[in-house]
Amino acid sequence: MTAPVATLSHLDGGVLDRVLGAVLVLDLDADYWERQGAMMALLRSDHPRGEEIVRLWLDRAVATQTSDGRLCYGATTNLSFGAFRVMDVAIMRQFVRTASVSAYFAHPLVMLYERTGEDRWLTAAERQVEAMLAGPRTSEGFLLMNGAAPEIWIDELYPVCGVLARLGRVRARRELTDEAYRHLLLAYRRLLDAGEGLLRHVWLERPNSFPESTFWSRGNGWFLCAAAEVLAEAPEHPDAPAVREMLAGVLDSYLRLQDDTGFFHDFLDDPGTPLEASGTLMFAYAVGLAAEHDQYLPAAVRALDAVAGIVPADGTIGRTVLPPGGPGVPLGSMVLGQSFFLLAAHHLRDATGIPLTG
């Protein structure tokens, strides 16, 4: 079957403006971890209120940084979405948040420091990173997101790796960049299914097992985005060739599983699961950022355009699996979808030259 021509036709009619508008009016304290991508997109955009809004959000995150360095009240997260309660999912019942969870806010802080030169943003980011690095680890050195068990959650790669690589560059601290690459390599080795070329959701060190073993679309998306961001920050690192090869392998596996609609399924290899927006957008963003992988650009444009086609008048993005992902978790609407929509649109515009007419 011939793949459809890659276009961004659904961005006509102000879709991008609607998504931006929905982000700009977000409640100050709600959904904080989900908007890392939105802050990064606003700081990379030419929106006249972009920096103003990011300053407002990050001012609150810093003002509520805890004594041990965790940003934004220690990064408590939404525990319910309407009638759905996150803690009712079995894998979450003994979940103990570590400082890795609040690291989502550190990357935009470093970006704002680079934009403004104001030391307070960098100081807050470094406090958060040091709190994270002092946290518990697996025996191989992977920082734990769940302090209750020696596990590798694929979710953790995105908030941890990008800021380590960026802060390593800004502060000329090679050990931070090394940590970023180390986490990508460790997660890939422990979570990869070599036959499928995709990564599983959660690996438990003792006993060696997968408490949640699906090829979750957003989970693999976390890996794609983290790898692309680390490579963008430190492309000459000795481990960069290995990570480029890993990234290309997972992108290849994604490509063969893309639905004709442009979406990817919630479980990538299971067409019986819903077509899902966040993993679809993460694929698009990672391809747009990792420009050397331009053979994937048509599929990435199709992915972004597919999600653009479901954006309603209020600019929210539904068809997004709720936390923590995995079996039995419903779809809903999350700020996360808007965040990665904006990032994907920004980078695909730069990578393809296709104008965004929203």
pLDDT digits (tens, 9 = 90+) for 48-75: 889 999 999 999 999 999 999 999 888 6
Written as six digits, the tokens of 13 are 């009619």
> CB–CB of 167/176 below 8 Å?
yes
Residue 297 to residue 233: CA distance in whole angstroms = 21
pLDDT at 35 over 70: yes
CA dist 27 → 74, 204, 280 (Å) = 18, 36, 26
pLDDT digits (tens, 9 = 90+) for 295-350: 899 999 999 999 999 999 999 999 999 988 889 899 999 899 999 999 999 999 87
Mean pLDDT of all residues in 132-158: 95
Q: Show the beta-strand stretches assigned E in 69-191.
A: 80-81, 84-85, 151-153
For the segment 238-259, what is each residue's pLDDT rounded down to a tens digit? 999 999 999 999 999 999 999 9
Per-residue model confidence as pLDDT tens digits over 258-298: 999 999 999 999 999 999 999 999 999 999 999 676 789 99
> Cα(first)–Cα(last) distance of the chain, in Å?
30
Instruction: Supply the pLDDT for residue 1.
Output: 32
| Domain coordinates in residue numbering, the chain | 1-24+257-277+288-353
DSSP state of 261: T
Q: Which pLDDT does position 77 carry in this prediction?
A: 59
Report the range of poorest mean pLDDT among 90-104, 105-119, 211-225, 256-270: 90-104
- Could you give the percent of the chain with pLDDT greater than 70? 92
Q: pLDDT class for 94, splitting at 50, 70, 90?
A: confident
Q: What is the model's pLDDT at position 5?
A: 45
**Burial class of residue 58, CB neighbours in 10 A (0-12, 13-18, 19+):** buried
| Measured distance CA(23)–CA(357) in Å, rounded | 18
d(CA 156, CA 67): 22
Q: In terms of residues, how long is the chain?
A: 358
Question: Where is pLDDT greater, at 350 or 77?
Answer: 350
CA distance 262 to 302: 5
The model's pTM: 0.93
DSSP-based three-state secondary structure for 151? strand
pLDDT reported for residue 80: 65
Helix (H, G, I), strand (E, B) or coil at 147: coil
